[in-house]
């Protein structure tokens, strides 16, 4: 069942159209002027409007144009009913936004067929819109999944590389620093050997959450770099600011006190942290910056782990 608005100043025509449409199971509302139809269309949702072209006051052409202008994409399809059979009137009906037309005297069987066709097309368009919305939602979800580590729910390496390229170019133009932190869970293989891999996965989730709690700005970026290693990008952050974030990381990890009885660094989970910072230049690459951060991480491990080492590019 569809909701139809019949607009015609002739009461006999309205009655004939009303009966024909109700026989097809449609719910009908009537208006006798263009002004009244504008109010009804905006007040009550309609699926289709049968609109007489020739009415006193506001004619159907003007009414259709006003409906389209005021309701925009919410405007229901309009079938113009006109006693004017000349081509210019038909062209005018389409020009103001009518989707179809019928001429007087009205052949009810033809009009009913056209109403059915318009409603079917409207239904198909609504179905297509729903499918497109579902596809868009699925695509957004897929885009999210391709950039997020499924275990820890932080960004994955692909997303890290894309963000690094984008931030490197932006900060090169602005001549502002980029801080980089690489973190590695100390003796994580021993953790898995002692507690099992499910516990190891949970540990990775806890550490990733603590790393996210250690950054303060939306622009700061945490990613799983690989295995038990994580990376943090800190745009527009100098070496002191980067070291402050590294200090918060150690504090948060220490306060979490995740047991690690098989570690040689402490009896809880700890991190080795490598820190570097640089203003991007054309003579160096973002890969160079990560190599330095990795060397700093290696230095922190060589010095006994559970600490931060800093190297400059």
Q: Please, are residues 142 and 203 in contact by the beta-carbon 8 Å criterion? A: no
Residue 289 burial (10 A CB sphere; 0-12, 13-18, 19+): buried
285: alpha, beta or left? (left if phi > 0; alpha if psi -120 to 50) = beta
Cβ contacts of residue 59 below 8 Å, gap of 6+? Answer: 34, 53
30, 121, 161, 228: the catalytic one is: 228
Q: Quickly tell me which residue has 């490598």 as its tokens.
A: 274
Annotation marks residue 228 as catalytic: yes
Q: Please, are residues 52 and 81 in contact by the beta-carbon 8 Å criterion? A: yes
How far is residue 63 from each of residues 33, 47, 99, 125, 175, measured CA to CA in Å?
9, 17, 14, 24, 59
Q: Please, are residues 245 and 215 in contact by the beta-carbon 8 Å criterion? A: yes
Q: Tokens for 2?
A: 């569809």
Beta bridge partners of 178: 235, 278
How far is residue 19 from each of residues 27, 32, 263, measured CA to CA in Å?
10, 16, 85
Q: Please, are residues 232 and 215 in contact by the beta-carbon 8 Å criterion? A: yes
Residues marked as catalytic: 228
């Amino acid at each position: 069942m569809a909701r139809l608005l019949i607009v015609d100043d002739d009461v006999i025509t309205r009655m004939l159209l009303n009966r024909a449409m109700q026989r097809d199971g449609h719910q009908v509302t009537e208006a006798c002027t263009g002004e009244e139809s504008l109010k009804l269309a905006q007040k009550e949702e309609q699926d289709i409007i049968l609109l007489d072209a020739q009415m006193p006051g506001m004619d159907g052409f003007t009414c259709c144009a006003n409906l389209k202008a005021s309701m925009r994409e919410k405007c229901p399809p309009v079938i113009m009913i006109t006693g004017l059979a000349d081509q210019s009137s038909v062209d005018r009906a389409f020009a103001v936004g009518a989707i179809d037309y019928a001429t007087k005297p009205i052949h009810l069987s033809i009009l009913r067929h056209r109403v059915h066709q318009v409603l079917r097309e409207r239904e198909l368009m609504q179905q297509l819109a729903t499918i497109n919305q579902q596809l868009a939602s699925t695509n957004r979800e897929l885009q999210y999944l391709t950039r997020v580590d499924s275990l820890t729910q932080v960004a994955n390496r692909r997303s890290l590389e894309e963000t690094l390229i984008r931030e490197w170019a932006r900060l090169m133009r602005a001549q502002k620093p980029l801080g980089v932190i690489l973190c590695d869970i100390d003796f994580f293989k021993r953790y898995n050997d002692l507690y099992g891999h499910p516990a190891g996965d949970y540990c990775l989730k806890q550490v990733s959450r603590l790393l996210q709690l250690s950054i303060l700005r939306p622009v700061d970026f945490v990613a799983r770099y690989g295995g038990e290693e994580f990376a943090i990008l800190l745009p527009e952050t100098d070496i002191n600011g980067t070291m402050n974030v590294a200090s918060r990381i150690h504090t948060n990890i220490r306060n979490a006190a995740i047991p690690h009885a098989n570690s040689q660094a402490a009896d809880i989970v700890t991190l080795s942290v490598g820190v570097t910072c640089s203003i991007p230049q054309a003579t160096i690459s973002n890969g160079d910056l990560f190599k330095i951060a990795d060397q700093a991480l290696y230095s922190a491990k060589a010095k006994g782990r559970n600490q931060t080492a800093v190297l400059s590019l």
